[in-house]
Every structure is written in C-alpha cells, then in structure tokens.
Amino acid sequence: MAAITLIGSGNAATALGRALRHAGHRIVQVWSRTEENATVLARELNAMPTADLQSINSDADVYILSVKDEAIEEIVKALSLSGKILAHTSGIKSKDLLHASAHYGIFYPLVSMTKDTETDFREVLMMVEGNDEATLQALTRLAQTISGKVKQVQERDRQSLHLAAVFANNFTNYLYTVSEQLLQESGLSFDELRPLVAAHVRRVMEQSPFQLQTGPAIRRDHSTMDVHLDLLSRHQNLKEVYSLLTSSIQDLYPIK
C-alpha cells in the first residue's frame, strides 16, 4: 500500500482521501491554505496537517494535488518533490503543468463529490495519465485499489468527458433547481416531479438520450411554448434559456 499526501482539503481531496484510506493506504499529510481546514481533514484521515507548502515532507510515495484549476501552477512552483509522483485531479488542465517534477500525471475521478456525502468509488470512472510508463502504471495501480473502472486516457479524451459531464450533470442539476424554484413560486413541491425524473433516469441508463427526447420543442407545439414563455414573464433570463434550449432542440431534431 502507498503513502500519500493530499495537497488540498476540498470536496475532491476529502472524497479521495477517504477512499484511499479505506483501501488501506496511509495518508501522510494534508495541506490546505488554512490551518483549520487542513486540521479537520487530517484528523479524519489520521494524517499530519500543514498550511505551509514548504513543510510538505518527502515521506509519501504519491502526492495528489486537488485544488482549484487556477491554483495548480502557483502551488506547483512552491513544491520540491524530487523523485516522487505528483498527480493532479483536474478534468481539464494538462498534466504538463506538473513538469517540474520528474514523475507526474493525472488522477481524475469522473464523479460529483461533496464533503457531506460518502462517494462510492467502486463504479466511478478513474482516468489516469503519466509522463512516463512507470508513473502511468503506478497511478493505474493506485486507482485500481479504489475503483473497478480505471482507464488510461489521452488528455483530449479526458477533457471531452469532463465537458460532457458538465452538460449531463452540472447543467442538468441547475435545471432541476430552476424547476424547483418555479414550483415553489406557485406553492408546489419538487416532489411532484420526482417520479418523472426517476423514470427518465432509468430509461437514459439503457437507451440513447437522442431517442428519448420529447416535449413541445420537438413537436413544434408553439401554442404550448407561448404559454410557457408567458408564465416566465417575470424571469427574463429564464425566458432566454427556454428559447435557446428550444432552438437547440429544434436544430438537433429538424422537421422531416
């Protein structure tokens, strides 16, 4: 089992730290910009906390950098990890941002993570990259201890999957939130929609989403869409979203 240092204490670092410790790995240190955040996660993982990048020691085998994308370059410049493996968890950024280290790569889980919920990584797609074969294989073996779905990928594939996930997960959840707020304005509950949502999710797990599209946009039901737009009269931004999504659907499904 590996000795691991987590550089970061947010959602991804927390979820990965829990999964790696549960798999039997030893978490050596947890770094965060704030001592309090480092201490909270380090205490949970039985590790040493630090808020000083210069205090990160060389006792670990793998250093997992799990911070905001914009902070990766800044933090890497302050690290000195000769001979160790350094990997970041970004779905978009290149592994070459870590080129100051001799051995570097990607350790990216395609899953939504929060501190408040336990993430079951067994079915999570773990994407790994490495700047050399030894690093790639080391990160692959590490990923296989927490997930049964590990894929060695090229950068463009990882970025494409990340983009698709934003549409499928982040944007979809935003639309659920809009639905909830519109219902609340009318004194209704999102619970009324849960059976509809659940049924669609079951179908989309088995069929192509392209084949499942329904609704007034694809039918060109303009009288219904006019009523919808009138109901959105107090929400100009949502009217624009509605119209843009309608146009996009109709572009994808032209009249035959």
Give the pLDDT score at 96. Answer: 96
DSSP assignment of 66-93 equals -S-GGGHHHHHHT---TTSEEEE--SSS
DSSP 8: -
Give the pLDDT score at 154. Answer: 96
- 169-191 pLDDT per residue, tens: 999 999 999 999 999 999 999 99
182-198: b or e for each residue (b if 16 or more CB lie within 10 Å)?
Answer: eeeeeeeeeeeeeeeee
Give the pLDDT score at 256. Answer: 65
Structural domains in the chain, sorted by start? 3-153 (3.40.50.720), 159-252 (1.10.1040.20)
Give the pLDDT score at 115. Answer: 87
- 3-29 pLDDT per residue, tens: 999 999 999 999 999 999 999 999 999
Other residues' Cβ atoms within 10 Å of the Cβ of residue 156: 8
Residue pair 96/106 in contact (Cβ under 8 Å)? The answer is: no
Give the pLDDT score at 116. Answer: 85
What pTM does this model have?
0.90
Which residue type is seen at 26? R
- Residues of the chain short of pLDDT 50, as ranges, are none
Q: Angle at CA 240, nearest 5°, toward 237 and 243?
A: 150
Q: How far apart are the first and last CA of the chain?
A: 59
